[in-house]
Chains A and B, each alone.
Chain A
């Protein structure tokens, strides 16, 4: 177990290095002056200033030197301030939203976290439940229905699905609005009486005892969650079903039946826990994927998370901002993949022994 974790930990710096190199390589497709957004806020006006900035931040230096400066930044000796340096959390300036990229991420990430928190349940558990039912009633009505349902689910592009939901639940029925919060509640949240304990709106609303705000926030998240759930149910269903079918054919399951256990106990106490092993990995990756921001879903529903911010930066061709998001995303993914792998080893002894 310890050797497994150590081996897995050793991979982390390699992956981190790889991701930074990848993003740095994409930065090199920009001209030196476009890259200056990594260090300075404003676009320099005259040619002399441009040259000065390029020289000051070494934007025309050899690649290895630029890479190093990108990592640790440049210290301004006059004012003793550091400019840039991703290792210190400075991801440059977002010229399209005129804030530092790190601040933009910090303001958007709580919303994505909030969405992830409420999406985990429906995304994972309903899919698993469907898969188990499909396997237990193999080739039965439930199985066939689940199969058709999952093919439709994988064929629907997220944005078409989202637009259809908006068409039905917002434009026609006027039940569930897109966005984050209704204006009146947004004022409540931004007011002084509303204390921001966690920056997650739903949790803060509960802690402040404002159930109306909580309910409104939930109403705004309902459609994104439904969209995310439907598209991932198909995958969960397929993986759970095939894993469950395989387990149900094993001899220990027959033994359990021969002992005279009830079918309910055989399925849910003996077969299901073992069949869940591959599903755990999938669930882990899904949560990680949600945390990284769901670009399309957030954009369709105008949800102000990091996914929609990245999409907006992309349409405005603000590459420095986008790469900042990619860096943040890559970091989250590497760390949480590590957690998933370790969790997997805990769940399945075969992994840590091999």
Chain B
């Protein structure tokens, strides 16, 4: 039968076909990734999360201006105002080892004398300084650990999924074994083993968190690769004779890696939390290093008088919670957007 020109009213048909303009940005990201991004920006919770993260990025970048270091060669050392053990309340005058007046001081505080605006902790470490420079430590450790675990996990997971068979079996059993011990205990042990050998710094704890942190990514990417492997375009590539490694790197990994990538970018909050937990226990950095867990650990000896010394817990605690909450808010929204049952709805 010859094709007949449709007669009658076809506006119904036209309406059912979406005529949406596709911008260059959407073309760049691809439809699925674009949907995830716009989905995120439409959720108020994730917007608050982005704002919180942005706020901390600004603090980290402006650290030398917000809290000018007393020892510029070693800015991560929290300045001490003397050595007496009892914490001093907010507003106490800063007598020894005084921090230079930051640019905002006169506008916001209105005086010319330097005080401890958030008080000092055990051993007269300035809490405000520790929080500001601790933000840099948090980003540094969070990013390095996340990127390293991600890379390692993706490589191991891809190898496992790609080769399959016995290789896959062995790698997945290794993953099983590493997942048996609770992450924090395993990292605690490895960090304690490494500390005397590497020296007190960020390195032992970071190494320990990387060593016991990659397994989750390996599992996820492996699953995604296994499902992408079966898609039609991979089959098509195989049919026209594309080489194996080109299929893996050009067709499979780019299409499988996105969920892992996004999840990893949000793991920064968790990593910072684990890191803080370990340094709270007293593992890793030297005493007095600007790091939130360390600042909080000064409170451990004062739990019987926290009603007087509330500021040694509240300020650093609040900072850590806000930071982690920023990442969690975005992560929570992301989980909804990535949920396969939500696909097709924007």
A residues apposed to B, CB below 8 Å:
11, 14-15, 18-19, 21-22, 26, 29-30, 147, 151-152, 154-160, 163-164, 166-167, 170-172, 178, 246, 289, 292-293, 295-296, 299-300, 302, 307, 310-311, 313-315, 317, 319, 322-323, 325-326, 329-330, 333-334, 337
Q: How far is the CA of A267 from the CA of B297 in the complex (A)?
A: 46
Given A18-B173, A171-B306, A326:B281 Cβ within 8 A: no
Closest beta carbon of chain A to B23's beta carbon, Å: 31
Taken together as a complex, chains A and B put the C-alpha atoms of A14 and B195 apart, in Å, by 30
11 contacting pairs across A/B (C-beta < 8 A): A15-B177, A18-B174, A29-B193, A151-B325, A164-B317, A295-B188, A296-B277, A296-B280, A300-B303, A315-B192, A330-B181
Most buried by A among B180, B182, B273: B180
Known: A171-B303, A310-B188. 4 other contacts (CB 8 A): A163-B299, A314-B191, A317-B192, A319-B192
Quick check: B306 and A315 within 8 Å, CB to CB?
Answer: no
0/1 interface trace, chain B 193-223, chain A, CB 8 Å (1 if under): 1111100000000000000000000000000
Q: B329–A311 contact, CB under 8 A? A: no
Residues A158 and B277 in contact, CB atoms below 8 Å apart: yes
Partner of B303, one of A160, A166, A314, A319: A166
Q: Which residues 296-340 of B have a CB within 8 angstroms of A?
A: 296, 299-300, 303-308, 310, 313, 317, 320-321, 324-325, 328-329, 332
Closest-CB distance, B310 to chain A (whole angstroms): 6
A166 touches B306 (CB 8 A): yes
Complex: how many Å from CA A22 to CA B193?
A: 13
Q: Closest CB-CB distance, A275 to chain B, in whole Å?
A: 15
Q: Is there an interface contact between B324 and A157, defined as CB atoms closer than 8 Å?
A: yes
Interface membership of B244, Cβ < 8 A: no
Contact A160 B317 (CB under 8 A): yes
Chain A residues lying within 8 Å of B303, measured Cβ to Cβ, are 163, 166, 170-171, 178, 300, 302
Say yes or no: is B186 at the interface (Cβ < 8 Å to chain A): yes
Q: Assuming A157-B277, A157-B324, A322-B192, is B180 touching A295 (CB within 8 A)?
A: no
Check if A26 sits within 8 Å of B296, measured CB to CB.
no
Q: Does B193 lie within 8 Å of A26, measured CB to CB?
A: yes
Residues of A within 8 A of B282 (CB): 314-315
Which of B's residues lie within 8 Å of A, judged by CB? 45, 173-174, 176-178, 180-182, 184-186, 188-197, 269, 273, 276-277, 280-283, 296, 299-300, 303-308, 310, 313, 317, 320-321, 324-325, 328-329, 332, 341
Q: Do B317 and A163 touch across chains, with their CB atoms under 8 A apart?
A: yes
Q: How far is the CA of A96 from the CA of B204 in the complex (A)?
A: 22
Q: What are the residues of chain A within 8 A of B304 when measuring CB–CB?
A: 170-171
- Inside 8 A of B310's CB, which chain A residues have their CB? 167
Residues of B contacting A171 with CB < 8 Å?
Answer: 303-308
Residue of B182, B195, B283, B329 near A292 (CB, 8 A) is B182
- With beta carbons under 8 angstroms apart, the residue of A19, A147, A154, A296 that contacts B180 is A19
Q: Nearest A residue to B190 by beta-carbon distance? A: A26
User: Contact between A155 and B296 (Cβ–Cβ < 8 Å)?
Assistant: no
Shortest distance between the CB of A229 and any CB in chain B (Å): 18
Known: A167-B313, A329-B182. A151 touches B332 (CB 8 A): yes
- Picked from A22, A26, A152, the residue with its CB within 8 Å of the CB of B177 is A22
List residues of chain A with CB within 8 A of the CB of B313: 160, 163-164, 167
Least distance between A78 CB and chain B CB atoms (Å): 33
Contact B195 A18 (CB under 8 A): no
Q: Inside 8 A of B181's CB, which chain A residues have their CB?
A: 19, 22, 326, 329-330, 333
| Cα(A15)–Cα(B178), bound, Å | 9
B151 CB to closest chain A CB (Å) equals 22
Contact at B277–A159, with CB atoms within 8 Å?
A: yes
Q: How many whole Å from A330's CB to the nearest CB in chain B? A: 5
What's the least CB distance linking B174 to chain A, in Å?
7
Chain B residues near A158: list those with CB within 8 A.
277
Q: List the A residue with the shortest CB-CB distance to B274.
A: A157
- Residues of chain B lying within 8 A (CB to CB) of residue A22: 177-178, 181
Interchain CA distance A96-B186 in the complex, whole Å: 20
Closest to A167 in B: B306
Whether A155 lies near B182 (C-beta < 8 A) is no
B194 and A322 contacting across the interface, CB-CB below 8 Å: no
A315 to B282, CA, bound (A): 6
How many Å lie between the Cα of A311 and that of B328 in the bound state?
A: 27
Measured in the bound complex, the distance between the Cα atoms of B184 and A147 in whole Å is 26
> Shortest CB–CB separation between residue B216 and chain A, in angstroms?
14
A322 CA / B188 CA spacing, docked (Å): 9
Q: A69 CA to B307 CA in the complex, in Å?
A: 53
Task: Report the minimal beta-carbon distance from A286 to chain B, rounded to whole angstroms.
Answer: 12
Contacting residue for B185 out of A151, A157, A310, A317, CB 8 A: A310
CA distance A30 to B189 in the complex (A): 12
Which residues of A lie under 8 Å from residue B273 when comparing CB positions? Answer: 157
Task: Please list the 5 inter-chain residue pairs (A to B) with the smallest Cβ-Cβ separation, ordered nearest first.
Answer: A18-B177, A155-B325, A171-B306, A171-B307, A160-B317
CA distance A15 to B174 in the complex (A): 9
Contact B307 A172 (CB under 8 A): yes
Interchain CA distance A147-B194 in the complex, whole Å: 40
Q: Which of A26, A167, A289 makes the CB contact (< 8 A) with B182?
A: A289
* Residues of chain A within 8 A of B307, CB atoms compared: 167, 171-172
Shortest B148–chain A CB gap in Å is 19
**A334 partner, pick from B180, B188, B195, B277, beta carbons under 8 A:** B180
- Expressed in whole angstroms, the Cα–Cα distance for A15 and B188 within the complex equals 21
Which residues of chain A come closer than 8 Å to B177, judged between CB atoms?
15, 18-19, 21-22
How far is A15 from B181 in the complex, measured between Cα atoms in Å?
11
Q: How far is the CA of A296 from the CA of B45 in the complex (A)?
A: 29
* A160 with B180: CB separation less than 8 A: no
**What chain B residues lie within 8 Å of A323 (beta carbons)?**
189
B174: A residues at CB distance < 8 A: 18
Q: How far is the CA of A193 from the CA of B162 in the complex (A)?
A: 66
Residue of A nearest to B176 (CB): A15
Tell me the complex Cα distance, A151–B306, Å.
Answer: 26
Q: A residues within 8 A CB of B173?
A: 14, 18
The contact of B194 among A29, A330, A334, by CB within 8 Å, is A29
Give, as a whole number of angstroms, the nearest-CB distance from A21 to chain B: 8
A109 to chain B, nearest CB (A): 15
Contacting pair B280 A329 (CB below 8 A) = no
